[in-house]
Structure 1
Amino acid sequence: MAVIESLLQFPSTGTLLGALLLLLVLYLLSSQSKSQKEGKEPPGPKPLPLVGNLLSLDLSRPFDTFFELSKTYGNVFQVFLGSKKSVVLVGYKTVKEALVNYAEEFGDRDI
């Protein structure tokens, strides 16, 4: 707490911290309203700024994490790997339906 008080004594530091806080709030509000406007997004865990959902994933066994997330969000959900959005399909029937019925939409995506 003393560190913050000493930093706020300098006008330029206080201004800088205030500007950073304002930018963070504006970023969070814009990203939240953008995702609500799109409406056709699959459900998924709420990402953190910049790191997305990386902190909540077990990167040594991501398939286990995705399987656990599918119990909460269903067979189609999204996660953010950093700032990149990824849609995850879980289960044979879901993957087959996506690749057969929506082949053109999924044709140019990474697997």
Structure 2
Amino acid sequence: MTVVHSIPCDGSEVSVRLTPDRTYQVNIQALVNPLGTGNVLETFAEAETAVQAAELFCELHQSAKERGYHLEEGFFVKADRRSFHVGRLLREGTKPDELVALMEH
């Protein structure tokens, strides 16, 4: 897979990778384990959409983390609270303030 975009994000690297079937995966990988394969957050048909989603993920992750959530198997989770599917948030273009409002309900 070819990396077409990469940004640091809170101790991890978020990248957009072109797959053999010509889709674009938004992937997160811990910087402390550079030999790992990371985790796919979502797949998109267009590179531009995937790059925007990668950038958005870092903003959403920061907002979630500030409210005590963490990323676990593709979801923002917090004990005794509703969890949020990251792929869905990215596909819907959920803004950080919108996520905060959802988390506070």
TM-score, length basis structure 2: 0.29
Task: Report the structure, 1 or 2, having the larger helix content.
Answer: 1
TM (norm. structure 1) is: 0.28
